[in-house]
């Protein structure tokens, strides 16, 4: 049976509601649950699931929708009661002594010295609030997506007029004056300044910089379309470069982006040359250029960090595939490949970070491996069904297709846990490749949340007469509240191979599959 409730004019944060969904789905007798605001997209989702009735279809973005698919009336009543209990707890917390402004204007009055606002609202409201913030002289980090290109251009043009940052839309990572924003890590201060059009790309690079003994001044996010769409023209990337050029604390510049439009790339490279400061460039998936004065082109996120730290320390940049001794690498490859069954042929990469998923995909393709993915640019290699792997597959589980009506898998690991359980039943899987992302915004124990499923997958492979190598990398630092060493220890306790970076993890998975004859 299905229970439906629509509460008029009851607004709750979407991420909070998604977390409620996860809890209600765990209740005995509940087959599915959707607790969401009545946005157009959510109503369409409910309609596609055959959960919508007249009351749901008539809901507005300010209305709360509760839909429970359950075993019987009694189960439904208990589930609804649980929903309201969780909602009331949220209200009780919100009604404490801490003043919580209900508008941008009242927030500015309460915090007159603030010069940056972080906006996370439904797309139809986000652009309006961002414009209001810019007009008040505030820098903006716009986490929201579903903002049109035309709105983004207008906002960034206004920001340029006022000399303000307009990070986003869809900007998920930044570190400003040492403060991690949204999905970001706690890293050491230093003299390396970063501008990036890539969330987990910034996270991986900043964490590797920290590991190599360097530190950062700023990590400025731009939003994914800033360089990719020629109409936007890299407006925020160029402003970020100019800001770091004028910052005396920043000695080394780093630029990270997925492949930009050709004319935008040239503008960015020219701007970097004009700074007179050494700069490291990583356009993910694009072949490095040569002969650009003062510019160093990296082939991976890890190498981007290594070159930047070498330049910061005044040493000649060096390149290497693995940071472990070669003999140790050979031992791991021998051990992990020795017990694979003849039926085990395919890679399965299950990622929560889009940029690191792309990095792994590109690495395997450069080695001549055909990889299917929801992130594939080649139409013939896009997964026919993104929920079903095909041969060698790498998926970005943070993609919109997997997160409709539920939190991003960095927040709620259950999305990936479900996919691990599905892949565990496939006897053709040879190696599982994972990222574990720590830091602000991420789950309090992202490794611990999937350990049981990973162990079960290894056990199932053994029961079939095979063996499942699981290769992982951890994006994080020891200062992150989840703890880098503790996370690595949990993974290693069940036999996972944990590498220092996503690039090294991908190379390790590749070497294991080569040794096993899977490639």
Task: Report whether the peptide linkage leading into residue 169 is cis, meaning its omega lies within 30 degrees of zero.
Answer: yes
Q: 139 and 228 share a domain? A: no
Place of tokens 């959960």: 51
**Same domain (yes/no): 366, 488:** yes
pLDDT tens across the length of the chain (519 residues):
999 999 998 888 776 787 788 789 889 999 989 998 898 878 988 888 899 999 999 999 889 999 999 999 999 999 999 999 988 876 665 555 566 777 888 888 888 999 999 998 877 789 999 999 999 999 999 998 888 999 999 999 999 999 999 999 999 999 999 999 999 999 999 999 999 998 999 999 999 999 999 999 999 999 989 999 999 999 999 999 999 999 999 999 999 998 899 899 999 999 999 999 999 999 998 888 888 889 999 999 999 999 999 999 999 988 788 999 999 999 999 999 999 999 999 999 999 999 999 999 999 999 999 999 999 989 999 999 999 999 999 999 998 888 766 778 998 898 999 999 999 999 999 999 999 999 999 999 999 999 999 999 999 999 999 999 999 999 999 999 999 999 999 999 999 999 999 999 999 999 999 999 988
| CATH assignment at residue 191 | 3.40.50.261
448 & 510 share domain? yes
Can you give the CATH number for the domain in which 33 is found? Answer: 3.30.70
Q: How far is CA 232 from CA 215, 237, 244, 331, in A?
A: 30, 10, 20, 49
Question: Do the domain assignments include residue 262?
Answer: yes
- Is the distance from CB of 141 to CB of 183 less than 8 angstroms? no
Q: Domain of 121?
A: 99-170
Residue 477 inside a domain? The answer is yes
- Residue 484: other Cβ atoms inside 10 A: 20
Residue at 176 is within a domain: no
Residue 299 and residue 373 in one domain: no
Q: What is the pLDDT of residue 292?
A: 87
Structure tokens at 4: 């439906």
What pTM does this model have?
0.87
**Which of 170, 194, 209 is a domain's end point?**
170
Separation between Cα atoms, residue 195 and residue 181, nearest integer Å? 14
User: Do 507 and 431 share a structural domain?
Assistant: yes
353 and 498 assigned to the same domain:
yes
Coil vs helix vs strand at 155: helix
409 and 285 within one domain: no
Say if residue 53 is in the same domain as residue 160. Answer: no
Percentage helix, strand, coil for the chain under 3-state DSSP, each rounded to 5: 40, 20, 40
Are 499 and 359 in the same domain?
Answer: yes
179 lies in some domain: no
- Specify if 271 maps to a domain: yes
Residue 473 in domain: yes
Q: Where are the alpha helices (DSSP H) in 136-258?
A: 149-162, 199-211, 225-228, 235-245
Based on the fold, state whether residues 412 and 353 are members of the same structural domain: yes
Which strand (E) or helix (H) includes residue 76? helix 73-94
Domain count, the chain: 4
Q: Within a domain: residue 178?
A: no
CA distance 474 to 447: 9
Asked if residues 252 and 285 have their Cβ atoms less than 8 Å apart, the reply is no
Number of residues that make up the chain: 519
Q: Which residues contact residue 460 at a Cβ distance below 8 angstroms, ignoring those fewer than 6 apart?
A: 424, 425, 468
Residue 453 domain-assigned (yes or no): yes
Given 253, 287, 320, which residue is the final one in a domain? 320
Q: Please indicate, yes or no, whether residues 415 and 344 belong to a single structural domain of this protein.
A: yes
Whether residues 349 and 484 share a domain: the answer is yes
Query: Where a domain ends, among 320, 353, 387?
Result: 320
């Amino acid at each position: 049976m299905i229970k439906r409730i629509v509460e008029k004019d009851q607004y709750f944060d979407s991420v909070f509601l998604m977390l409620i969904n996860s809890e209600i789905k765990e209740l005995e007798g509940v087959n599915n649950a959707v607790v969401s605001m009545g946005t157009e997209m959510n109503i369409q989702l409910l309609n596609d699931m055959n959960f919508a009735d007249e009351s749901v279809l008539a809901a507005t973005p300010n209305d709360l929708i509760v839909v429970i698919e359950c075993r019987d009336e009694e189960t439904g009543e208990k589930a609804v009661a649980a929903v309201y209990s969780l909602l009331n707890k949220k209200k009780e917390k919100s009604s404490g002594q801490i003043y919580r402004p209900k508008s941008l204007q009242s927030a500015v009055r309460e915090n007159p010295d603030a010069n940056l606002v972080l906006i996370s609202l439904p797309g139809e409201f986000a652009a309006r609030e961002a414009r209001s913030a810019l007009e008040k002289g505030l820098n903006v980090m716009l986490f929201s997506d579903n903002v049109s290109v035309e709105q983004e251009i207008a906002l960034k043009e206004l920001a340029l007029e006022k000399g303000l940052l307009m990070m986003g839309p869809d900007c998920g990572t930044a570190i400003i004056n040492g403060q991690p924003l949204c999905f970001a890590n706690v890293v050491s201060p230093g003299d390396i300044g970063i501008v990036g059009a890539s969330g987990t790309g910034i996270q991986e690079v900043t964490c590797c910089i920290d590991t190599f003994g360097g530190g950062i001044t700023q990590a400025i996010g731009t939003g994914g379309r800033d360089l990719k769409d020629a109409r936007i023209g890299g407006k925020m990337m160029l402003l970020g470069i100019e800001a770091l050029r004028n910052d005396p604390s920043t000695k080394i510049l780093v630029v990270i982006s997925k492949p930009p439009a050709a004319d935008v790339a040239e503008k960015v490279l020219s701007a970097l040359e004009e700074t007179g400061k050494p700069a490291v460039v990583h356009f993910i998936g694009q072949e490095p250029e040569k002969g650009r004065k003062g510019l160093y082109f990296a082939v991976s996120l890890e190498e981007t960090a290594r070159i930047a730290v070498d330049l910061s320390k005044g040493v000649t940049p060096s390149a290497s595939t693995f940071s472990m001794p070669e003999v140790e690498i050979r031992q791991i490859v021998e051990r992990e490949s020795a017990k694979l069954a003849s039926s085990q042929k395919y890679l399965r990469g299950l990622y929560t970070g889009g940029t690191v998923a792309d990095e792994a995909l590109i690495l395997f393709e450069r080695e001549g491996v055909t990889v299917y993915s929801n992130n594939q640019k080649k139409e013939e290699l896009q997964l026919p069904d993104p929920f079903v792997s095909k041969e060698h597959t790498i998926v970005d589980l943070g993609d919109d297709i997997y997160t409709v009506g539920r939190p991003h898998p960095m927040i709620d690991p259950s999305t990936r846990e479900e996919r691990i359980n599905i892949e565990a039943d496939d006897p053709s899987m040879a190696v599982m490749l994972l990222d574990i992302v720590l830091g602000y915004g991420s789950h309090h124990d992202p490794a611990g949340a999937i350990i049981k499923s990973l162990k079960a997958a290894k056990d199932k492979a053994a029961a079939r007469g095979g063996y499942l190598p699981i290769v992982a990398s951890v994006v994080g630092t020891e200062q992150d509240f989840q703890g880098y060493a503790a996370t690595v220890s949990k993974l290693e306790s069940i036999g996972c191979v944990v590498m220092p970076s996503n690039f090294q993890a991908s190379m390790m998975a590749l070497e294991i599959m080569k040794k096993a004859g899977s490639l």
